[in-house]
Amino acid sequence: MTMTITNTVYREGEGLPVILCHAFPVDHRMWDVCADSLINQADRRGLIPFPIYAPDMPGAGDGPLPLEEQNGGLAPDGSYPHALDRMAEAYVDLVAGLGHSKAIWVGLSMGGYLVEAVWRLHPEVVAGMALCDTTTKDDAPQSRANRLAIAQRCLDTGGVDGVMHFARPQEGDSRFKTSPEFIDTMTGWIESQSPQGIAWRERMAAGRPDQTGILPGIEVPLTMVSGELDPSSPPRVMRPLADAATSVPGGVRFVSVPECGHFSAVERPDLVASALVDLVADVQGSGRVEESEGC
């Protein structure tokens, strides 16, 4: 039985859709401003109007939690070692159900883990990829333990205080990330999440495999976006990932975003949208068309 994925449609259109995969601990709303900018910039560039979708991960926003049997089993430490793959399969099924055999997949942070899994499991459905502020590695032991502790805290307390630090200013943050606008917006997004949904995503991410092995085999246009102030995925961490993707036609487009931390699509939406427009143009120009129904 496949997980149920809820979907937000920013725009219908022709040809290959762009699938925007959100970060943790928020939902698709993190893409709202960036998606609007993507539409406007793509139209100004004269690109074929393409569909833009932003599905919610299970337990994010209004997305329902999976049934336990849909997760593929719980590891002794409380992680879900098969849930990332199950979620990726559900996203692929969603896109197929919308009439598309291929898509351009964009993932930020935890959304990047998902996009990597889609390529690993179903490269035939990927016409192009963007990996933003993310990693291909699995969690180090301490990071894994921290995730699982946060998950348990959310379940024990019935609250989301364990992840509210994402909405709090930290040393070295971008100016926008320390602004009342960002703090208020991120606080609202996080407070609207269910503790059970937060816990599910933490357990899923804790159980994910190392996906670094996919990089040399990526043979579609690939963009990597990295906020220069990102504490976990700055350019010095992400550039080696780009260097490892040796089969990308024309090479990886690597975009370092100045005055920007981990949530690049929220902090600098216009610059991220510009990078995505370039990716769509690369894909549309490469002839990587799909065989679709009803589009």
Give the mean pLDDT of 90-112: 99
* pLDDT, position 284: 92
* Domain 6-137+212-286 coded CATH 3.40.50.1820: yes
Helix, strand, or coil here: 129? strand
Residue 1 pLDDT level (bands cut at 50, 70, 90):
confident
H helices present in the chain, as ranges? 32-45, 83-97, 110-121, 141-157, 180-191, 195-206, 235-244, 264-267, 269-286
* pLDDT, position 264: 99
Is 290 a residue whose pLDDT tops 90?
A: no
pLDDT in tens, 184-235: 999 999 999 999 999 999 999 999 999 999 999 999 999 999 999 999 999 9
% of the chain residues with pLDDT over 90: 96
Q: Yes or no: say if 57 and 7 are a contact pair by the CB < 8 Å rule.
A: no
Name the residue among 13, 52, 51 with its Cα closest to residue 32: 52
pLDDT in tens, 69-90: 999 999 999 999 999 999 999 9
* pLDDT, position 291: 42
* pLDDT, position 288: 59
Give the C-alpha separation, 82 to 70, whole Å: 9
pLDDT in tens, 25-45: 999 999 999 999 999 999 999
Give the mean pLDDT of 55-64: 97
Is 293 a residue whose pLDDT tops 70?
A: no
